[in-house]
Amino acid sequence: MPELGPVKIGLLGLGTVGGGTVTVLRRNAGLIAARAGRRIEIALATAKDLNKPRNLDLTGIELVADAERVVDDPSIEIVAELIGGMEPARSLVLRAINNGKHVVTANKALIALHGNEIFAQAQARGVMVAFEAAVAGGIPVIKVMREALAGNDILSLAGIINGTCNFILSAMSEAGRDFNEVLADAQRLGYAEADPAFDIDGIDAAHKLTILAALAFGIPLQFENVYVEGIRAITRDDVLYAERLGYRIKHLGIARQVANGIELRVHPTLVPARQPIARVNGVMNAVLVRGDAAGPVLLSGAGAGAEATASSVIADLVDVVRALTSDPENRVPHLAFQPDTLEDLPILPIDDIETAYYLRLMVADQPGVLADVTRILSDRGISIEAIIQLEHAALEIVPIVILTHRIKERAMNDAMAAIEQLSAIEGKVARIRVETLA
């Protein structure tokens, strides 16, 4: 049988991930070819500034400014979209698919918001869209959920899926520093953007959770139904009090199958310090998946970075090359389930979620206040697991921290509103949800 020639790749974007992809493909070319069965060569790549000096070996790669030239070139079999953002990425991906080209992307926002459209079009054209690099950088969580756990009923997943938030919360814990101070450090070190809202307000994590939940439960991608809460309100005191109670604060994406639907939520969470995921610090990511057969499976590693993310991009390229000659109907489905079996299961509103809670109240130092608070909680069926009443002899307003047992969010909202009406309560009640992940 004659040896097949190289598969030609068109690369959209030569930024951090694009540059990492070039570097790793060059360095491990022989190894990658041995695994894929054919050589993989980047023939065309786009760049905003064609004359910009780059510390990359671009031998044999033609640089072009016009991205449409890449997706229209008949010699290109696979387009790797690594420019990010919504447009022109969406239009270019759809154009590549219409041209009969396979697509590899690291663009979580594109998949979360437009994946249903993209996958339907790819299915109609008989091409593949691979997106391992869209979630958790170099951690092969999508492959594990789509293939290794294919025999499992996925019960739940919980993930540290934004490195910026994890870096900030880890630094607040380790150094006892304030949020704003640590955020400034994260920006200086390049872990946070000049405008960090996308990360610290939870949007990035919600995009990734949208994708993971679709893979886990066989539901369409539905970013608009994810409850999203960021970490701006977390204080140094919250981190300290959580640790005194035996917990650590992590920003988690949580998806869970329950009797009446699916939970989809992103928010700060108290996690027992004994849990392995609680010990994942810095910019590292981790995803805990629970299957009915496999039990808990914890995947952790670098969630971002040039070569870590490039590792996932190249893994997708290898998968696509291996499957180039296969019948489209016999390929691994984009979202793990065959398209005609996806179920539009209800996504629960946050008011119907049941979890435990950490509450921090600023209270006038006077008799009877704690009794009033506990009465309000008791009247709504909320039982208390622990209370920390901190002594501040010189202060008229002191903090009280309460840890509750599990209760529906609707009842907790009602209780918090009633507590805030007490004359002895200063300001709003701070709330962080608690998950044992057991």
pLDDT digits (tens, 9 = 90+) for 219-230: 999 999 999 999
Residue at 346 is within a domain: no
Top pLDDT among 367 and 273 is at: 273
Please report where in the chains the tokens 């959770």 appear, as a residue: 209
Helix/strand/coil (H/E/C) assignment for every residue in 106-150: CCHHHHHHHHHHHHHHHHHHCCCEECHHHCCCCCCHHHHHHHHCC
What is the domain count for the chain? Answer: 3
Q: If residue 290 lies in a helix (H) or strand (E), which one and from where to where?
A: strand 284-291
The answer to whether 308 touches 106, Cβ cutoff 8 Å, is no
Q: Mean pLDDT over all residues of the chain?
A: 93
pLDDT digits (tens, 9 = 90+) for 52-76: 888 898 999 999 999 999 999 999 9
Region 273-296: what's the mean pLDDT? Answer: 96
DSSP SS3 for 280? coil
Whether 147 and 259 map to the same domain: the answer is yes
Region 258-278: what's the mean pLDDT? Answer: 96
Where residue 1 falls among pLDDT bands split at 50, 70, 90?
Answer: very low
Residue at 1 is within a domain: no
Tell me whether residue 208 is one of the annotated catalytic residues.
yes
- How much of the chain, in percent, has pLDDT values that exceed 70? 98
Q: What are phi and psi of 20, to 5 degrees?
A: -65, -35
Predicted pLDDT of residue 133? 94
The contacts of residue 366 (CB under 8 Å, 6+ apart) are 424
Q: Bridge-partner residues for 263, per DSSP?
A: 256
pLDDT digits (tens, 9 = 90+) for 383-434: 999 998 876 656 788 899 999 999 999 999 999 999 999 999 999 999 999 9
Whether 122 and 253 map to the same domain: the answer is no
Which is catalytic among the residues 52, 208, 250, 408?
Answer: 208
Whether 111 and 177 map to the same domain: the answer is no
Where residue 231 falls among pLDDT bands split at 50, 70, 90?
Answer: very high
Which amino acid is it at 42? I
Whether 356 and 424 map to the same domain: the answer is yes
Please classify residue 75 by burial: count the beta carbons closer than 10 Å to its beta carbon, then call 0-12 exposed, 13-18 middle and 19+ buried. exposed
Region 310-339: what's the mean pLDDT? Answer: 85
Whether pLDDT at 2 is above 70: no
Nearest C-alpha neighbor of 373 from the set 429, 427, 431 = 429
Q: What are phi and psi of 281, to 5 degrees?
A: -120, 180
Whether 278 and 313 map to the same domain: the answer is no
Predicted pLDDT of residue 5? 86
The answer to whether 70 touches 14, Cβ cutoff 8 Å, is no
Which amino acid is it at 290? R
pLDDT digits (tens, 9 = 90+) for 145-157: 999 999 999 999 9
Predicted pLDDT of residue 221? 96
Whether pLDDT at 243 is above 70: yes
Per the structure, the complete domain to which residue 36 belongs is given by 7-138+307-341
Residue at 320 is within a domain: yes
pTM as predicted: 0.94
CATH of the domain at 217: 3.30.360.10
Whether 229 and 298 map to the same domain: the answer is yes
Q: What are phi and psi of 119, to 5 degrees?
A: -70, -35
Which phi-psi region, left, alpha or beta, contains residue 2 (left: φ > 0; alpha: ψ -120 to 50)? beta
How many C-beta neighbours within 10 Å does residue 184 have? 12
Which amino acid is it at 305? G
Predicted pLDDT of residue 130? 96
Distance of CA 73 to the CA centre of its chain: 33
CATH of the domain at 63: 3.40.50.720
Q: Buried b / exposed e across 194-203, counting CB within 10 Å, b at 16+?
A: eebebbbbbb
Whether 148 and 241 map to the same domain: the answer is yes
Whether 33 and 95 map to the same domain: the answer is yes
Residue at 2 is within a domain: no
pLDDT digits (tens, 9 = 90+) for 325-339: 777 777 887 776 778
Structure tokens that stand for 91 in this block: 């239009």
Q: How many residues does the chain have?
A: 438
Structure tokens that stand for 52 in this block: 């910009």
Whether 262 and 397 map to the same domain: the answer is no
